[in-house]
A and B are shown apart, each in its own frame.
Chain A
Amino acid sequence: MGESSAPKKVTVEPKYLAVLGLAGGVAGVYLGFLSPLIPAVLSILPIVWAADTVRRIAGYGIGTGVPSIGNLSIGMGVLAAIVGLRFEPAVGLAFAACFGYLYGIIIGKFKVLEIPVFTRCMTELPAGAALALMCLMSAVVGGYSRGFFEANLIPNLFVTGFVAAIFWATSLAIAHPYNACLGPDERQGRTLKLAVGVAGIDITLAGLAALGVAQLSPSIMSFPTALSMVIIGLIVWVGGYYVFVKTAMRESAVVAWTGYPGSAR
């Protein structure tokens, strides 16, 4: 992993992914009052953005494995997301970016890790993770609205423990795509297809949590909405993996079968 340094040619410019992720995530959180399905679907965009950032930073070889970067992003992101949902989502996003930037500077100053893009990636990662978490956490309890933190989020998401599932599933969705695809032939387009597939798992889990919330407090989450969240998640999951496997099969080398029984010819 150490010798692969600068990122190779990319299918989608990271700039566009960042803009898409920011716009999608912010729109998702703020449009949650229309329907909780909007933040659930739009959470794919920040997840793909964060997965691409993991790809850029882990390409340098950090020596501790790719999942550590995903967990780091989610560790910062969850703090910013809680602050954001408590006060104002835009403030949470700003906090995530600023604190991530300062974290990158601290790591560089104390010479813990010296990677050229670290500070920039550390600004983008927590922002993406915080947006994805804010989208999913607000989607489970029926969309973001003023003062919903104490009334809806704490009793339905935190006390029931659903938050732990969403926390780790989002961490997986951010770390897994590059962790699974890394290697000399890694290609951005293929990795991001897998990211969409794993984001589907995340949405499915959020939908299952929403099913629980629909039973606990029917006033904020209706059963059909929760069920359609699960179905949307399943469609994204299966669709993303289908496209990913198709792409991987098209781009893989042909291996001639020479074993028993007989040759395939």
Chain B
Amino acid sequence: MEPTLEEEKMMDINLMVTVLILIAVGGVLIALGVFFIPVGGAPAAMSTATGVATGCEMIVVGAGVTGLFMAATLYNQFLPLVIVTAGVSSAIMMGVTMLILNLIVVYGVGAPLSFARKEYDPITKEHVKPYVTPGTVGHGIPTATYLGGLFGAFLAGLGGALTFSVMYRFTCGAGMAEMLGVLAQTSPNVAAIALSAITAVGAYLINANITAYSIRGVIESWIDPKFEAVPRTLAACFSASLLFGILIVLASMTI
């Protein structure tokens, strides 16, 4: 039986709501991921704090865009496979970044990896606090924060790829089955990729700033007391992503 006009419109609205919710979930995953990544900011660049030596916002966009690249490469594959692969690629990116930072801190600066928040490293049970130079709050990225960073980058990559893939498939005019499964396309739609990439970066920046305002500078992965701010930050990200999801859906109508 042919679907009537009314039913088609109904499908369309269902699809739009699904897109909105998936974009919001992507935003929440990105924001949650950043809480796990040790963000050091400017103090970490001088080796006076634990973490990756850049701001929250750049880390969010970096992890999200790595996920975006992978998702754009695997544009027509099964959606869960795409986002998990993108998450792994993002974790590899962050792992290499943190490893190089540790090499520089250990062999370049000559400081032992340590943090001041806890007496012992919760994973290796090593006594790390005595190695913190007086006047600083840590150096490099010790094991507990390193693992947190890998996991956080994985989550952020999942979110980035989910946001981009959903936008791309929506722009290409995919139905509900194609949206969540395999996309029946043999060559990529470059116009749709360009449009969704720019809108996706806009969405990352909006979520990145909520997280950045809530972290305010420095966080040491899951051992940091600031981790308590997670629920309200995620709630804020979910609402903001839903809000701007309306603009995204309008911007990425089928072309």
Assembled-state Cα–Cα distance A150/B171 (Å): 13
- A69-103 vs B: 1/0 string, CB under 8 Å? 10110111011101100110000000100010011
Stretch in A60-68, A202-210, A211-219 touching the partner: A60-68
| Cβ-defined contact, B243 with A106, below 8 A | yes
| Cβ-defined contact, B206 with A112, below 8 A | no
Instruction: Give the chain A neighbours of B137 by CB distance below 8 A.
Output: none
Known contacts A68-B212, A79-B248; is-contact A154 B201 (Cβ 8 Å):
no
Q: Does A107 count as interface, using CB distance less than 8 angstroms?
A: yes
Chain A: residues with Cβ within 8 Å of the partner, total of 39
Q: Does A255 count as interface, using CB distance less than 8 angstroms?
A: no
- Identify which of residues 191-210 in chain B touch chain A, using a CB-to-CB cut-off of 8 Å: 191, 194-195, 198-199, 201-206, 208-210
Instruction: Give the chain A neighbours of B195 by CB distance below 8 A.
Output: 82, 154, 158
Instruction: Give the chain B neighbours of A69 by CB distance below 8 A.
Output: 209
Assembled-state Cα–Cα distance A99/B239 (Å): 12
Instruction: Give the chain A neighbours of B199 by CB distance below 8 A.
Output: 78-79, 82
| Cβ-defined contact, B243 with A79, below 8 A | no
Instruction: Give the chain A neighbours of B57 by CB distance below 8 A.
Output: 64, 67-68, 71
| Cβ-defined contact, A111 with B232, below 8 A | yes
- B24-44 vs A: 1/0 string, CB under 8 Å? 000000000000000000000
Instruction: Give the chain A neighbours of B201 by CB distance below 8 A.
Output: 75, 78, 167
Instruction: Give the chain B neighbours of A95 by CB distance below 8 A.
Output: 247
Q: Does B235 count as interface, using CB distance less than 8 angstroms?
A: yes
Task: Select A79's contact among B236, B247, B253, beta carbons within 8 Å.
Answer: B247
Q: Does A253 count as interface, using CB distance less than 8 angstroms?
A: no
Assembled-state Cα–Cα distance A72/B201 (Å): 11
| Cβ-defined contact, A83 with B232, below 8 A | no
| Cβ-defined contact, A64 with B55, below 8 A | yes
Instruction: Give the chain A neighbours of B232 by CB distance below 8 A.
Output: 110-112
Q: Mind listing 28 A-B residue pairs with CB under 8 Å?
A: A64-B209, A64-B213, A64-B215, A64-B217, A67-B57, A68-B209, A71-B57, A72-B209, A74-B202, A75-B204, A75-B209, A79-B203, A79-B248, A80-B247, A86-B253, A87-B250, A95-B247, A99-B246, A106-B239, A107-B236, A107-B240, A110-B235, A150-B255, A154-B191, A158-B194, A159-B191, A159-B194, A161-B194
Please provide the 8 A-B residue pairs with the shortest distance between their CB atoms, ordered closest to farther: A75-B205, A63-B216, A158-B194, A110-B236, A82-B251, A113-B213, A79-B247, A64-B212
Binding site for A on B (CB under 8 A): 55-57, 190-191, 194-195, 198-199, 201-206, 208-210, 212-217, 232-233, 235-236, 239-240, 243-244, 246-248, 250-251, 253, 255
